Amino acid sequence: MVNYKSSQKPLWRMTSRERRFILLIGDILVTIFSMFVALYFWAVKDSWFNFSWDFLKQRPPDWYYFLPLIWLILLLELYDLRRASRIQDVIQGIIFAVLVSAGVYLAIFFISAPNPLPRRGVAGFIAAAAMLTLIWRIIYIKIFTTPLFLRRVLIVGAGRAGSTLAGIIKDIWPPPFFLVGLIDDDPQKKGKKIKGAPVLGNSRDLMSVIEKESISDLIFAISGEMKPQMFKAILSAEEKGIEVTTMPVVYEELTGRVPIQLLQDDWILRSFLDESHSSGSYEVIKRLIDISVSLIGLIVTLACFPLVAILILIDGGFPIFYRQMRVGKSGKLFQLYKFRTMVKDAEKDGIARLAVENDERVTRVGRFLRKSRIDELPQFINVLRGDLSMVGPRAERPELIAKMQRGIPFYRARLFIKPGATGWAQVNYSYASTLSENAIKLEYDLYYIKHRNLLLDLSIMLRTIGTILQFKGQ
């Protein structure tokens, strides 16, 4: 195991953007090389022993040269630096890319005319891309996650915000950067350890600590009043070329969540409203994607309906569909459609309850439908109607939203956008049955609302496909 406690000066203090850029460049080179490897062996197998321009013009169809782009899209999840640094996640991501690409190809192969598709060329590309991508990603982990390339970070503030962040950093492996320690003006904290990291001094000591410990970054984590001397020290550090970042920004980068318990009451007005706005072009493209995917989804729903209906009838009789009022964008109510997975009259007393893991109300057929996510197919009706988007916060019941608002700060902010059939919270967190668990899901939802874009939406939809393939629904 690499010693991340090293005090050596880093060779290159890589930022998150630089790491993602290196990953992208490596993946592009690997996929292009994989395509030429596949083309070479394809040509040799087809007796084009003189691999030439004629072969490239005559044999591969035009769409074949888009395979590297498709492969890169399937690897989107592996640009999450936490996942990119763990070999197990890398292997899972590559297996997912192989399964999806092979599955799509086979589906097209069986519904197309005889012999129109280059089986050997596609199979060769998938095999080469999987093997070479794995080799490249292992090289990345072995080299670029070592202390030589880690930023050296100091947290300014050892209170609630600083200690929370220090605990998060401590639990991440491999670490995103080397946390040298903390700085705080409280004299009682000097020399103590916060989540395993030492408090190295106060604002007077800041510049000397930066020089002694080769600090590259400061994380500002003071949520209360700050002394003028600390303010001046931080400005001096920034003028010396030290990168200064706020705690909420780092928290979001490390966890994919918004730290709602550490934010001021007026955060919604001061920050979130401006950051949650999206462009008109994004909304138009997102709606077109919703319509396209929902039409395909409804075709799949119609194909599955006869068998699903028979199974539900045998297991528990009518009704086949389950309808329930949910809260949409800006608090607008709509009726959500699903295949029924629970016993009839699951809430006889009229009290709304959150679904929990291994819920006793779920029928035998219902467990299968939930595991496979087949129960959610009728939601494509809601997507087509515009009640739901494909990606967004989960649509909850009015009674539960009223309850959550009383116990969780900023809960109503999730209604700023349209709810989704899947979402950032759904792919990152399982069912939530308590207030604290729902608070974590809200942190994911607010992160999505702040950072939503087409690439993030595509990443979420790909991860949802992975959940379905792995039978991880609940």
> 3-state DSSP call for residue 245?
strand
Q: Which residue type sits at 345?
A: D
Q: Which two tokens stand for residue 465?
A: 């496909």
Q: Which helix (H) or strand (E) holds 384?
A: helix 379-385
pLDDT tens string 138-158:
999 998 888 778 889 999 999
pLDDT band at 121 (very low <50, low <70, confident <90, very high): confident
Residue 4's pLDDT is 43
In the chain, count H helices and then E strands. Answer: 19, 10
pLDDT band at 116 (very low <50, low <70, confident <90, very high): low
What is the Cα–Cα distance from 197 to 179, expressed in whole angstroms?
7
Query: Which region, left, alpha or beta, applies to residue 178 given φ > 0 means left and ψ of -120 to 50 means alpha?
Result: beta
13, pLDDT greater than 80: no
Percent with pLDDT over 70 in the chain: 88
Residue 71's pLDDT is 94
Residue 291's pLDDT is 97
What is the Cα–Cα distance from 339 to 312, expressed in whole angstroms?
9
Q: Which residues contact 118 (CB under 8 A, 6 or more apart)?
A: 42, 59, 60, 61, 64
What is the Cα–Cα distance from 158 to 163, expressed in whole angstroms?
6
48, pLDDT greater than 60: no
The 10 Å Cβ neighbour count of residue 34 is 23
Mean pLDDT of 370-399: 93
238, pLDDT greater than 60: yes
Domains of the chain, CATH where assigned: 16-144 (no CATH), 151-255 (3.40.50.720), 280-345+352-469 (no CATH)
Mean pLDDT of 21-32: 95
Helix axis angle, 435-451 relative to 398-407, nearest 10°? Answer: 100
CB 253 within 8 A of CB 191: no
Least confident of 208-212, 363-367, 399-403: 363-367
Residue-wise over 362-397: b if at least 16 C-beta within 10 A, else e? Answer: bbebbbbbbbbbbbbbbbbbbbbeebbbbbbbbbbb
CB 184 within 8 A of CB 45: no
pLDDT tens string 409-441:
899 999 999 999 999 999 998 877 788 899 999
pLDDT tens string 51-88:
566 666 667 787 888 899 999 999 998 998 888 989 99
Percent with pLDDT over 90 in the chain: 51
pTM of the predicted structure, to 2 decimals: 0.85
User: What are the DSSP E strand ranges found in 93-223?
Assistant: 152-156, 178-183, 193-194, 197-201, 217-220
Average pLDDT over the chain reads 86
CB 143 within 8 A of CB 149: yes
What is the Cα–Cα distance from 49 to 33, expressed in whole angstroms?
19
Helices (H), 195-340: 206-212, 228-239, 247-255, 267, 273-275, 280-316
Q: Which residue type sits at 172?
A: I
> 3-state DSSP call for residue 130?
helix
Task: Select from 345, 293, 250 the least CA-distant residue to 16.
Answer: 250
pLDDT band at 352 (very low <50, low <70, confident <90, very high): low
pLDDT band at 177 (very low <50, low <70, confident <90, very high): confident
241, pLDDT greater than 50: yes
- Beta pairing partners, 431: none
6, pLDDT greater than 50: no
Pairing of strands 243-246, 197-201: unpaired
